[in-house]
């Protein structure tokens, strides 16, 4: 099932900061990790991801640096900052409130509805 881009767009900061909290990653690695962990639900293209990374960097949530990876090829890596870690906490709080509220409205599993 293809997910509406509007739904994904509202959670990109949360998703990217969550990955970068675990370890520094380069762009394609972020794309691949999002696909793997979401069972191919989140399929970002480079043209979609890089503007988000630049925005997060401009906001001070992440910083970038160049380094050689395992293959010896130089790549641009992204690293979460302390400001980004604080923002991640806020993003998680907002997500928890949002997802709980949506589930209450649509009648999630706790209300005995498993499908629409």
Position with higher pLDDT, 46 vs 59: 59
pLDDT at 72: 86
The fold adopted by the segment(s) 5-97 is Arc Repressor Mutant, subunit A (1.10.10)
Mean pLDDT of the chain: 88
pTM for the full model?
Answer: 0.83
The answer to whether 25 and 49 have CB atoms below 8 angstroms apart is no
107 vs 35 pLDDT, higher one? 35
Encode pLDDT of 16-55 as tens digits. Answer: 999 999 999 999 999 999 999 999 988 888 888 999 999 9
């Amino acid at each position: 099932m293809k997910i509406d881009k509007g739904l994904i767009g509202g959670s990109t900061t949360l998703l990217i900061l969550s990955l970068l909290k675990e370890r520094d990653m380069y762009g394609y690695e972020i794309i691949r990790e999002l696909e793997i962990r979401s069972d191919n639900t989140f399929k970002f293209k480079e043209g979609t991801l890089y503007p988000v990374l630049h925005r997060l960097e401009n906001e001070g949530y992440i910083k970038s640096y160049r380094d050689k990876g395992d293959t010896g090829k130089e790549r641009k890596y992204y690293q979460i900052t302390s400001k980004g870690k604080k923002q991640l906490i806020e993003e998680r709080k907002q997500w928890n409130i949002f997802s709980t509220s949506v589930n209450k409205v649509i009648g999630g599993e706790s209300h005995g509805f498993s499908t629409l």
